[in-house]
């Protein structure tokens, strides 16, 4: 995701993530590196995606650590401890490297 995740763009994130899961992805990576803003609708989508992923034990969701302003929102809402935050896509655990192409 690049730019802003807000009421106008959050549905696109949700659709992409859900489609990846329907296509059989066992792990998702949501790269927020280039995201400069996220609002409550974006956070809601992130939580909904996490719930969908968690419904199947073999699935995982990783979030590439966003820029400081967006990271602050995750910290204030304590979602930074809820999501698996990684520093880069290359920091993925080796067992999940084969699913990198299915990033949302």
Quick check: 38 pLDDT over 70? yes
Give me the DSSP letters along 62-92.
EEE---HHHHHHHHHTTGGGTSEEESSGGGS
Quick check: 14 pLDDT over 70? yes
What confidence tier does 97 reach under pLDDT thresholds 50, 70, 90? very low
What's residue 62's pLDDT? 94
Question: Is residue 68 helix, strand or coil?
Answer: helix
d(CA 23, CA 34): 25
Q: Percentage of the chain with pLDDT > 70?
A: 88
What's residue 21's pLDDT? 94
Quick check: 99 pLDDT over 70? no
| Neighbouring residues of 80: CB distance < 8 A, sequence distance ≥ 6 | 71, 74
């Amino acid at each position: 995701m690049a730019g802003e995740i807000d009421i106008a763009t959050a549905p696109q994130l949700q659709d992409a993530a859900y489609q990846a899961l329907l296509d059989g992805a066992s792990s998702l990576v949501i790269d927020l590196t280039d995201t400069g803003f996220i609002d409550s609708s974006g956070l809601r989508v992130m939580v909904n995606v996490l719930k969908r992923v968690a419904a199947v034990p073999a699935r995982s969701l990783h979030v590439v650590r966003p820029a400081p302003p967006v990271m602050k929102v995750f910290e204030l809402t304590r979602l930074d401890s809820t999501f698996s935050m990684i520093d880069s896509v290359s920091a993925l655990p080796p067992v999940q490297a084969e699913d990198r192409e299915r990033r949302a």
